[in-house]
Each structure stands twice: as C-alpha cells, then as structure tokens.
Amino acid sequence: MRNYFITALEFLLVFLVSPIVGIIVVFISSILHLSIDVENMLMYIAAFILLGVFLYRLTKRHQLNQIIFATAIPIVFILSSLIPDKAPSTIHTAKYEYTFGVPLPFITVHSESNASFLLQHVSFHHSFGINAFPFLLNVIIVYFVMMYIRKVFVRRHKPISISS
C-alpha cells in the first residue's frame, strides 16, 4: 500500500513540476530570442523527460517487466499514427481539430488540411497538443494487454513432461 501512495505522490509531483519547467523554458527562450516552434519543441522534450523519469521509477518500484513496458511506448505511438481520426471537429470554416490515440486520444492537432492520418499533419505549421495523462493510461493498457498475451502464449507452449 505504501508503494502505491508514493507512486501517486510522484505522479502528482510530475504534474506540479511540469508547469514550472514550462515557465523556465519560456523564460529561457525569451532571453535567447528563440522561435515559438523551438520553444514548443523544448517543452515537449522536457515533458517527456519528466514522464520518462516517472515511468522508470514506476517500473523499478512495482517490478514491471521493463522490456514489455519499453515496447508498449512505441506501440502506442505507432498505433496512434496508423489509425486515422474518424471524424474531425470543425473549429472554423477552414480549420479542423483532429484527435489521435489508441485507445484514449492523447494527441490533438489543429490543421487546415483535411487529412485523417497523423503523419499527414507532421509539420511546424500545425499546432499540436499532447496530453500526458491519457498517454500514460494508453501505455499501461497496452502493457497489460501485452502481459496477458505473453501469459497465454507461455502457458500454451509450455513443454509437457512425462513422468513414469
């Protein structure tokens, strides 16, 4: 029970530290006169580093299978880029809002092009939003699905020993 409480506190700490890191990135980029695109990229890098540290500590504390957990992260990104958005929301007459993510949407793209796949929107001219909480839930869901598949596969292919 104590480990779950510490994990919940670390999770809250990540979301309390993230805005502070964002403020620091905005301050540094205004001093260095960086463009808004570079500033956004630095914010995403800082957010994913914080999330990575949290996920690393989570796998160590709860003895999660690190190989399967590390495989679940790219699987979530690959599935999100391959599965199209079924119905974009119209923000303006020529602007659309697309949401990507499997099973929970965690990437939001505001774009003027009417394309439904994520890779068609990869550009510095579109505004992106990545929500870390649904991303983390997606990774955890994919992790448990992969663990279940592994458990079924290992059970099915166990060698049968014949004793006389």
Instruction: Give yes or no: residues 89 and 141 share one domain.
Output: yes
Asked, for residue 160, whether it belongs to a domain, the answer is no
Instruction: Give yes or no: residues 24 and 51 share one domain.
Output: yes
Taking the C-alpha atoms of residue 142 and residue 126, their distance in angstroms, rounded to an integer, is: 28
The pTM score is 0.59
Asked, for residue 140, whether it belongs to a domain, the answer is yes
Taking the C-alpha atoms of residue 109 and residue 94, their distance in angstroms, rounded to an integer, is: 14
Taking alpha carbons only, the member of 153, 143, 11 closest to residue 73 is 143
Dihedral sign from CA coordinates of 112, 114, 116, 119: negative
Instruction: Give yes or no: residues 56 and 74 share one domain.
Output: no
Taking the C-alpha atoms of residue 105 and residue 74, their distance in angstroms, rounded to an integer, is: 15
Instruction: Give yes or no: residues 86 and 147 share one domain.
Output: yes
Instruction: Give yes or no: residues 14 and 78 share one domain.
Output: no
Instruction: Give yes or no: residues 36 and 84 share one domain.
Output: no
Q: What is the domain range of residue 8?
A: 1-63
Instruction: Give yes or no: residues 53 and 97 share one domain.
Output: no
Instruction: Give yes or no: residues 51 and 10 share one domain.
Output: yes
Q: Which SS3 state, helix, strand or coil, does residue 109 take? A: strand
Instruction: Give yes or no: residues 77 and 148 share one domain.
Output: yes
Asked, for residue 77, whether it belongs to a domain, the answer is yes
Instruction: Give yes or no: residues 55 and 94 share one domain.
Output: no
Q: b/e per residue, 133-160, with b = 16+ CB within 10 A?
A: ebbbbbbbebbeebeeeeeeeeeeeeee
Instruction: Give yes or no: residues 74 and 145 share one domain.
Output: yes
Taking the C-alpha atoms of residue 83 and residue 86, their distance in angstroms, rounded to an integer, is: 9
Taking the C-alpha atoms of residue 52 and residue 136, their distance in angstroms, rounded to an integer, is: 10
Q: b/e per residue, 68-86, with b = 16+ CB within 10 A?
A: bbeebbebbbeebbeeebe
User: How many independent structural domains does the chain possess?
Assistant: 2
How confident is the prediction along the chain (164 residues), in pLDDT tens digits per residue?
667 677 777 777 777 777 788 788 888 888 888 888 888 788 778 877 877 777 777 777 767 787 888 899 899 988 888 887 766 676 666 677 778 888 888 887 777 766 666 655 566 555 777 787 788 888 888 988 898 888 888 776 666 666 65
Who's near 70: CB < 8 A, 6+ residues apart?
A: none
Who's near 104: CB < 8 A, 6+ residues apart?
A: 134, 137, 138, 141
Domain boundary among 63, 80, 103: 63
Instruction: Give yes or no: residues 50 and 69 share one domain.
Output: no
